[in-house]
Amino acid sequence: MHDHLTYDQLTRATIGDCTTQELQHLGECSVCSAEVVTMNESLLGFRDAVLNWTHSQTKSAPRLVLDAAPLTPRRTLRWSLAAAAVALVMTIPIYRNAAERQRLLQEAEDTRLLEQVDLQLSRVVPGPMESLVTLLPNEKSTNDGEPR
């Protein structure tokens, strides 16, 4: 009496991953070879069932076909107007940004001008007399060099 192959050995033989000894045993033992044939037939039956089911599902599934409507001049005009409206709406932020930047530049220039006017008005001595003021002794120093 032969020792038959284990379930794992039969499974490996079914997928074609068996050793030479197992292959030799399958050639000599009709019980084990019949078991491998049965396993192969079961797998083939399962494969066929899955393929049939898949084909039946794809045939009954509704196919979505979108037919493009012909372009008419009126439809083309609508799309052109829509594109122009989108382009116009997109330019509004750009215009606002440019106007804001211009306003900030003008504000900075106005501030500089006001600071210059303020500097001119805050002088104690008028501009033409400044050369005479430099000839006068400094208020902070005395004759001996010590501050008052």
Q: 121 or 33, which is more confident?
A: 33
Residue 120 domain-assigned? yes
pTM score of the predicted model: 0.38
CA dist 138 → 46, 60, 120, 125, 131 (Å): 112, 106, 22, 14, 14
Whether residue 110 sits in one domain with residue 83 = yes
Q: Is residue 115 part of a domain?
A: yes
* Domain co-membership, 119 together with 78: yes
Average per-residue pLDDT in the chain?
81
Strand partners, 57: none
- Phi, psi of 147, rounded to the nearest 5 degrees: -70, 150
For residues 48 and 79, membership in a common domain is answered with: no
Q: What DSSP designation does 15 have? A: T
| Residues 30-67 pLDDT 10s | 999 999 999 999 999 999 999 888 888 776 656 666 66
Is 95 a member of any domain?
A: yes
Assigned domain for 133 exists: no
50 in the same domain as 93: no
Specify the pLDDT at position 2.
60
Question: Is 138 a member of any domain?
Answer: no
The whole-angstrom separation of Cα 4 and Cα 29 is 8
Is 24 part of any domain?
yes
Domain of residue 94: give its range: 74-124
Residues 48 and 83 in one domain: no
The helix (H) or strand (E) run that includes residue 93 is helix 73-121
Per-residue pLDDT at 1 exceeds 50: no
Q: Is residue 140 part of a domain?
A: no
Tokens of 53: 């089911």
